[in-house]
Copies of this chain bind each other. A is one copy, B any other.
Amino acid sequence: MARSVLLTGAGGRVGQAILRDLGEAHDWRLLDREPLPRGKLPDGIDNSDVYVSDVTNKQAVKEAVRGCEVIIHLAGDPRPNAPWESVLRNNIDGTQTVLEAAVEVGVEKVAFASSNHAVGFYEDERKPDLYRDHDEFRLDGTELPRPTNLYGVSKATGETLARYYHDEHDLSVVCVRIGNLTESHPPRNYERGQAMWLSYTDCAHLFDCCVKADYGYEIVYGISDNDRKYYDIEPTRRVLGYEPRDNSAEYHLDGTPKDEFDE
């Protein structure tokens, strides 16, 4: 069933992966800080459903949120090396602005784009074994954050904000720790990226699940079903009904597809 969904940060990579496959699946409102060129808009979207605003602008965000059933909140500075001032404003303050507006306006649920960078330091002691098929270590979302950078701190803070808005205001929120999103093939010659690959197809499907599923508060990992994975995606399957189709093991290390791939 098509839902009324606000997508913040619609012009970014995750937003575009979602719109590529789901452009006609939901009634979209799009928000981005930059005007979106026609090529980044789903076919047939009405101009009045496209908002150009900073995500920290309370009034503009509230207007964009009003009447929506679900928010997919992606907006923020996506650079792992972004300076503190930028993530403080765009990622931390911006996420509070969106969650506050969601509660005020009475939105049903929010999917929040968190990141693998919120927990990157767990890898230090086990890499590179961690990135290989035989290693059984898994992170599952119950672990405390160990961010690798201030961007990761900002994403962990978004998760904590979401926890508060759920506990205090009964807002349903799923935080998706997104892996390494690339189109058409996994990252090349980069074991870590292949371990946490998220294909465009699986990304769109995953956020479609976030729109449709029922949940209270959850932290899940958003990656394809990679043999190399060290993030547990059983909770993602269980909570959201996620059924990934891709696996970086179907590609050689250099990114070319294997001719035949039998699991």
Contacts and interface: CB of A to CB of B under 8 A. Distances in A.
A147 interface: yes
A121 B96 CA distance: 19
A262 interface: no
A142 B124 CA distance: 20
B144 A153 contact: no
A157 interface: yes
B96 A92 contact: no
A164 B92 CA distance: 16
Nearest to A163: B146
Contacts of A100: 84
A147 B121 contact: no
Contact of A153 (B121, B149, B157): B157
Contacts of A124: 167
Nearest to A161: B153
A15 interface: no
A167 B118 CA distance: 12
A84 B144 CA distance: 23
A150 B163 contact: no
Most interface-central of A93, A163, A164 (chain B CB within 10 A): A164
A156 B156 CA distance: 10
A9 interface: no
Contacts of A144: 142, 144, 163
Contact of A152 (B88, B153, B164): B164
A160 B151 CA distance: 12
Interface in A167-209: 167-168
Interface in A133-159: 142, 144-150, 152-153, 156-157
A79 to B, nearest CB: 16
A144 B145 CA distance: 9
A168 B145 CA distance: 13
Given A121-B163, A146-B163, A150-B164, 20 more contacts: A88-B88, A88-B92, A88-B96, A92-B92, A96-B150, A124-B167, A142-B144, A144-B163, A145-B163, A146-B164, A147-B160, A147-B163, A147-B164, A147-B167, A148-B168, A149-B168, A152-B164, A153-B157, A153-B160, A157-B160
11 contacts: A84-B100, A88-B88, A88-B92, A88-B93, A121-B168, A146-B164, A146-B167, A147-B160, A149-B164, A152-B164, A157-B157
